[in-house]
Amino acid sequence: MGEACAGRVALVTGASRGIGKAIALRLAAEGAAVAICSRPSPGMAQLGTLQGARDELAALGGKVLAIPFDMGDPSLDRATLVDQVEAELGPVDILVNNAAAGGFRPFMEWTDEQMARVLELNFWSCWHLIRRTLPGMRERGRGWILNVSSQTAVGPQGPPFPPTQPARFGTIYGGSKAFLDRWTTSLGVETFGEGIAVNTIAPEAAAATEVLVEFSDLPDYLYEPLETMAEGALALCTADPATLTGQITTSLQLLVDLQRPVYDLAGRELVAGWQPADIPARIEKMAQHSRGELRSGPTGVERVTNR
- Determine how many CB atoms are found less than 10 A away from the CB of residue 218: 17
> Angle, nearest 10°, between helix axes 125-140 and 78-88?
40
Question: How many Å apart are CA 130 and CA 69, to the nearest integer?
Answer: 16
CB 17 within 8 Å of CB 210: yes
**Residue 156 DSSP symbol:** P
C-alpha 304 chain-centroid distance? 17
At residue 115, what are phi and psi to the nearest 5 degrees?
-65, -40
Catalytic residue numbers read 149, 173, 177
Beta-carbon contacts of residue 237 (< 8 Å; ≥ 6 apart) = 5, 10, 27, 94, 96, 144, 146, 197
Q: Which of 208, 210, 197, 303 is nearest to 249 (CA)?
A: 197
